[in-house]
Structure 1
Amino acid sequence: MASPANGYAQAVQPIAPNTIHTDTEGLIAEDIQIPTSDGAIYGYYAAPEGGQSLPTIVVIHEIFSVHEHIKDVARRLAKLGYLAIAPDFFGRQGDVSQLADHQQIFTEVVSKVPDAQVLSDIDAAFDWATQSGLADPARLAVTGFCWGGRLTWLYAAHTDRIQAGVAWYGRLASKTDPLHPQQPIDVAAHLKAPVLGLYGGQDAGIPQDQVSAVQEILKDAGGPSRIHVYPEAGHAFYADYRPSYKPIEAEDGFTSLRDWLRTYGVS
Structure 2
Amino acid sequence: MRDYSDFDSLLPAVPFNRRQFMVSAIGAGFALAVQPVVAQTVITTDSVGLSAGEIKVTTGDGEMPAYRAQPASGGNWPIILVVQEIFGVHEYIKDVCRRLAKLGYLALAPELYARQGDPRQYSNIEELLGKVVSKVPDAQVLADLDACVAWAVAHGGNAARLGITGFCWGGRITWLYAAHNPRLKAGVAWYGRIVGVPSELNPRHPLDIAGKLYAPVLGLYGGLDQGIPLDSVEKMRKALAESADPASKASTIHVYDQAPHAFHADYRPSYRKTEADDGWRRLQAWFRQHGV
Give the TM bin, normalised by the shorter chain: over 0.9
Give the corresponding residue for 2:41. Answer: 18
Give the corresponding residue for 1:2. Answer: 24
Rounded to whole Å, the distance in 1 between the matches of 2:74 and 2:167 is 26
Please list every run of at least 4 consecutive aligned residues from structure 1 whose deviation after the TM superposition is greater than 2 angstroms.
1-5
Rounded to whole Å, the distance in 2 between the matches of 1:145 and 1:5 is 19
Rounded to whole Å, the distance in 2 between the matches of 1:159 and 1:91 is 22
Rounded to whole Å, the distance in 1 between the matches of 2:111 and 2:35 is 20
Which stretch shows the higher mean deviation, 111-120 or 10-19?
10-19
Rounded to whole Å, the distance in 2 between the matches of 1:150 and 1:163 is 17
**Residue of structure 1 aligned with 2:129, choices 97, 106, 109:** 106
Q: Is the 8 A contact 2:26 2:54 kept in 1?
A: no
Say whether residues 1:187 and 2:209 are aligned partners: yes
Q: Is the 8 A contact 1:4 1:95 kept in 2?
A: no
CA deviation after TM superposition for structure 1 residue 147, in Å: 0.2
Say whether residues 1:253 and 2:282 are aligned partners: no
Give the corresponding residue for 2:163. Answer: 141
Rounded to whole Å, the distance in 2 between the matches of 1:48 and 1:137 is 17
CA deviation after TM superposition for structure 1 residue 5, in Å: 2.7
- 3-state SS in 2 of match to 1:185: helix
Say whether residues 1:244 and 2:288 are aligned partners: no
**Residue of structure 1 aligned with 2:80, choices 46, 50, 57:** 57
Rounded to whole Å, the distance in 2 between the matches of 1:224 and 1:3 is 38
Q: Tell me the matched-pair count.
A: 265
Q: Percent identity?
A: 53
> 1:13-162 to 2 correspondence within 5 Å?
13-16=35-38, 17-132=40-155, 134-162=156-184
1:88-141 CA distance string (max 9 Å, x none): 000100001110000111100000000000000000000001012x20000001
**Residue ranges of structure 2 left out of the alignment (5+ in a row):** 1-22
CA deviation after TM superposition for structure 1 residue 175, in Å: 1.2
**Residue of structure 2 aligned with 1:178, choices 181, 197, 200:** 200
- 3-state SS in 1 of match to 2:69: strand
RMSD: 0.8
Which stretch shows the higher mean deviation, 248-257 or 4-13?
4-13
Q: Is the 8 A contact 2:94 2:109 kept in 1?
A: yes
**Residue ranges of structure 1 left out of the alignment (5+ in a row):** none
CA deviation after TM superposition for structure 1 residue 150, in Å: 0.2
Rounded to whole Å, the distance in 1 between the matches of 2:26 and 2:151 is 20
Q: Is the 8 A contact 1:204 1:235 kept in 2?
A: yes
Q: Is the 8 A contact 2:26 2:66 kept in 1?
A: no
Rounded to whole Å, the distance in 2 between the matches of 1:2 and 1:23 is 25
- 3-state SS in 1 of match to 2:210: helix
Give the corresponding residue for 2:252. Answer: 226
Rounded to whole Å, the distance in 1 between the matches of 2:162 and 2:189 is 15
CA deviation after TM superposition for structure 1 residue 30, in Å: 1.2
Rounded to whole Å, the distance in 1 between the matches of 2:24 and 2:280 is 29
Q: Is the 8 A contact 2:169 2:192 kept in 1?
A: yes
CA deviation after TM superposition for structure 1 residue 51, in Å: 2.8
Q: Is the 8 A contact 2:179 2:212 kept in 1?
A: yes
Rounded to whole Å, the distance in 2 between the matches of 1:117 and 1:234 is 30
CA deviation after TM superposition for structure 1 residue 176, in Å: 1.4
Amino acid at match of 2:223: G
Amino acid at match of 1:206: I
